[in-house]
Each structure stands twice: as C-alpha cells, then as structure tokens.
Amino acid sequence: MLVGPNGAGKTTLLNVVAGLVCYKGSVLFDGAPVDSLPARKRNVGYVFQDLVLFPHMNVTTNVAYGIQALDWPQDRIERRVTELLEVLRIPRLASRYPTKLSGGEKQRVALARALAAHPKILLLDEPFNNLDRQTTRLLRTELKLLQRDLGTTMIIVTHDLTEVEGIADRIAIMLEGRIEQVGRPDEVLLSPGGTKTAECIGFPNVLACQKTRDLGHGLATVACDGIDIVVPHNRSPIRKIIVWPRDVLVSLYPPPSQVNAFEGLLSEIIRQPGSVQMVVEVGGCRLMAELPQQLFESMSIAEGDKVYLELNLMKIRTYEEYGISSSQN
Amino acid sequence: MYGVIPVAIALVAWEAVARLDLVPGGMFFPPFSMVIEEIYDLAMTGVLAENFMPSLLRVVIGLASGSVVGLLIGTAMGWNRQVGRTLGPIISLLYPIPALGWLPLMMIWIGINELLPITIIFICTFFPICYTTATGIKSVDLRFVQAARSLGASDLRILITVIFPMALPDIFTGLRLEAGMAWRVIIAAEMVAIPTGIGALLMKAESLVRVDIILACLLILSVMCFCFERMFLFLESSLIDRWR
C-alpha cells in the first residue's frame, strides 16, 4: 500500500510501474527489468483513480477490451467476462453503459477490466474515492478475497491509511516524490519514521499495554498507562493498541455507557484546515481526538476544560505478542 | 410537433397574402398552392428530374469524397503530432477561402464539366470535416489512451476502437453542418457556371420571370438541406446517444 498526501507522486509512481510515462531508472518485476517493455506488454492491471471506463462501450465490452486486444479466442473471452462479472457480483449490468452505473458499480467494472487478462500486478489508484462507507467496506472485503484467491501482487494508492487496513502486507509512505518509510503495517503505524511520516499517517493514538485480562466472548481489558480499555481480543496478550483521533468521541457531558468512557482535561488544541485536533490528558496518558471544525466551534470548549472521551470498541486496533491482530472493523 | 405549427402558420399566411393580392405586383408573389402545382408539373414533365438528379449526384459524390478524405487527413492530423504540425498551417491558410472563391480557378483548371461542381463541393466539405475531425481526435482525454495501453492495445487498435468512436460527436457536428452547406454551394455554383442542375433551372426561371419556378426550386433546396441534415442527425443519434 502506497500512502501519501496529494501531490506526493503516488499516481506518477503507478504510471511508471505501468510504463505509461517516460522515466529514468529501472522497474523490476521479480528481479527482472521491464524498462524496455511498452505498457501494453507489461501485463499490469490498472484501476485508474477516475476509473476511465470507455463511455462508448457497455460493461461487457469494457471488461473484454484487454483480452480482445490480446487476441484471445472468442469463447474464452466470453467465459472470462462471465466469470468476472459473477465474482464481482455485477452480471445484471452486462449490457449497461457507464453513464448508467453508480460509483460502486463503476469501481467493480474497472476492477473486472483490470483483472481480465490475469495480470501479474494490479495497480489501484485511490480505489475507494467518492464511495460511501458501506460500499467501501464491501469493496474492501472483495479486494481482500481477490488478493487471497488470485495471489496477484497489488499496489494500492491511498491518502487515507484507514481505508485499506487489513489488506496491506507492506505499507510505503511517500512524501514529496520520495519513499520515506517501508515496512509492515504495525512497524509503520507503531514506529513512524519522523514527524512528516507521522503527520501523513494521521498521528494515531498508540498506547502501550501493560496487562491483558481476558473477558471471554472475544473481548479483553487492557491496562494502558493507567487506564483500562475494553478491546477485541483473540488469544495472546496485547502489546499495543491504536485508536485513530477521529474515532475518539468527545463530549462535554458524561456518556451513558461506562465502557471505554473517560474523563480528561483538554490540554492542547491544534487547528488544521477543516478540522481541530485536541490533546486530552486521561489518567497517565495523552489521547488525541479530532473533530470537524464546525462541530468543535459549536461546542465552545477551550484549553483547560473538562471533557469526556469515549472509545468505540469496534474502531480499536490491537497488536498482540506474536504479530498483528486486526480490529473488528 | 411544435416545430410544425409555426411553419404551417407561415404557409397559410403566404397563401392568404398571395390570394388576397395584399402584395403589390401580384404576379411576382404566387400563392403557396401554385408553387406546389408547379413542382408537380415540373415532376410530370420530367424537367424536375432532369435538373434535380444531377444536383443530387454532385452533392452526394462531392460530400462523400470530401468527408472521407477530410476524415482520413483529420484523423492523421489529430493522432500524429508531426502530421498535425506539418499540415496544420496549410489547412489554416486554405480553410478561410470560401468554396465559391475557388470557382474561377477551377473553371480554368478543370473546365466546365461534371467534375467542376463535384470539386467545389469536395472543397466545401473537406476543410471543415478535416478540422472538426482533428479537433475531435485531439480532444479525447489522454487517460483513455493510457487505459487502453495498460490493457494491452496497440496504437492502431486504440485509434480505431477508442479514439475515433469518442471523437464522433465532433465529427458528426461537422458532417451535419456540411450536409446543408453542400446544397447551398452547389446551387450557387450551378447558377454561375454550370448549365444543368437546380441552380441552372433557377437562372432559367429568373430570365423568364417565372417566380413560381424560382420558389419551387428554393423549396426543393430547403427540403434537401433539411433531409440531409436530418439524415446525419439520425446516424449520430443511433451511433452515439446510447452512451453519451
């Protein structure tokens, strides 16, 4: 997964891998250079940020385009298109034109088209842009399943790390045209290499856990720097937990539930374009919460005020003793 | 349907004004029904076919050949930057010359024969079609080309299956405009230099002060412009509307 802010060069990098732009240097697939191969011979599937479905072709023709260009026999083309439409659950759209498709449907068609020729590498540029949360969740699940079933190498570009958690084996942080850090998701999230990288991934709240107490039913209580938090739990003791600032709920009044609810002191307000980050001292730790600017202004709170935080159980990511444990999200 | 009502009202008004002699010099303003009668007479005597068919053939041949060559060269100019840069200045210099402006030169080079009006129609059609085709080809978003390349398509395949179809809206705009223009040009060319055709019939009627025949020729011209434009509109609609 390639993460970085707008203008970092992520799309350019994908275009280089696909051979769609001129570049200096070398691109290697399994150690073999492909620089002399034009784009059409690199066997790379590409789902563009704007999807770029051919408007004058219906769904079937769009999906079949690449394998027709490769001169597959007609019956094989038909079988492959039918198979892909079934896998992506869009067989009813076969004769529709792109202007008559929803955003999620277009994404699936673009994915089917990119996968048709069994590419060695699949490039996805901001695949969940402009999709609602539910569609994003569904497509994310499908991508996970495809990745597992096809074994295709995928490079997914996003500016929002939370979109593709659970899919990535490795994360690369790209800033201003350079790869700043590459590693497993837990390495990057738990140990960002520098302030700019931390800014890029969103300053998650990372809490070290000193003790884990199993509650059964897939839950545990962890003691993190003086506060007890209920988290999803597999088996092993939990080493660290991560909560994204936007998943920390803030209110001026005690929340009705006592689970994962804490009283704290607002110690710092950091204003960003369109949002406000708040540093809250809770027990022995500092938690960062993020609110949209309008909502923050309506609450009329200032540094030094008492606030109440609530952590959504479903949004907590846990990291156990022997590798990564995904959250329930 | 709404378009028919104003036309019907205008025709009824014409008939009434002419019948009621409301225009001075009544013989120079025959009623609509008399014009229709004259068209019938011309058709029955064979005069209409004698003059209409040559005009029709000239328009069809000139329009078809000008369109095909314009499409080919326009595609080359739009697709290949070198070709565009080479031919572009020449096309830009020649395009503004009105088609009829070529008539005296072509009369000397070709002489007065069937090739003359066809050449004028060819010139009238070629430049706008070449221009709109090149514009249409160049306006296709590069991302579609990149998408097609990433899917394994060759440049020729991309041109035929992606770029040209997506340029059709611009191309059809040129074809629709030129379809009507070809008729206007042929009439003018026949009035000036060619002894046969609807334009020539117009001039003969003028010399005999046969306003009914003049109006009949103009009515036929109007109908033919309309029919040709509608034909291209229908073609455009059947090829493009389902995906536009």
Architecture of B52-240 per CATH?
Answer: Orthogonal Bundle (1.10)
* Chain A residues close to B165, C-beta within 8 Å: 56
Domain with CATH 2.40.50.100 in chain A: 207-324
- Tell whether B244 lies on the interface with A, counting CB pairs under 8 A: yes
Q: What is the pLDDT of residues B139-191, one digit of tens each?
A: 999 999 999 999 999 999 999 999 999 999 999 999 998 998 999 999 888 88
Domain with CATH 3.40.50.300 in chain A: 2-201
Q: What angle do CA B163, B168, B174 make, to 5 degrees?
A: 130
Please report, as a single letter, which amino acid is at residue A68: Q
Interface predicted TM-score (ipTM) of this complex, two decimals: 0.81
* Residue A51 to chain B, least CA–CA distance (Å): 9
Q: What is the pLDDT of residues A207-245, one digit of tens each?
A: 889 889 988 888 999 999 889 999 988 778 888 888 888
Residue of B39, B63, B49, B50 lying closest to B185 (CA atoms): B63
Cα–Cα dist A160/A206, whole Å = 17
CB contact under 8 A, A54 and B146: no
Q: Are B122 and B140 in contact (CB under 8 A)?
A: no
Residues contacting A70, CB < 8 A, separation 6+:
A117, B152
pLDDT (mean) for A129-150: 79
Q: What is the pLDDT of residue A165?
A: 64
Q: Which chain A residue lies closest to B144 (C-alpha atoms)?
A: A52
Please report, as a single letter, which amino acid is at residue B53: M
Determine how many CB atoms are found less than 10 A away from the CB of residue B85.
10
Q: What is the pLDDT of residues B182-198, one digit of tens each?
A: 999 998 888 887 888 99
A207-324: CATH topology: OB fold (Dihydrolipoamide Acetyltransferase, E2P) (2.40.50)
Per domain, the residue ranges of chain B are 52-240
Residues belonging to chain B: 244
Q: Give the mean pLDDT of chain A.
A: 88
Cα–Cα dist A203/A275, whole Å = 14
Determine how many CB atoms are found less than 10 A away from the CB of residue B133.
27
Using DSSP's 3-state secondary structure scheme, residue A85 falls into helix
Residue range A2-201, CATH number = 3.40.50.300
pLDDT (mean) for A73-86: 95
Residue A252 CA neighbour count, 13 Å, CB half? 11
Q: Tell me: pLDDT of A96 over 50.
A: yes
- Tell whether A15 lies on the interface with B, counting CB pairs under 8 A: yes
pLDDT (mean) for A286-303: 90
pTM: 0.80
Residue ranges in A151-208 assigned as alpha helix (H):
185-190, 195-201
CB contact under 8 A, A65 and B151: yes
* Residue A182 to chain B, least CA–CA distance (Å): 26
Cα–Cα dist A39/A20, whole Å = 6
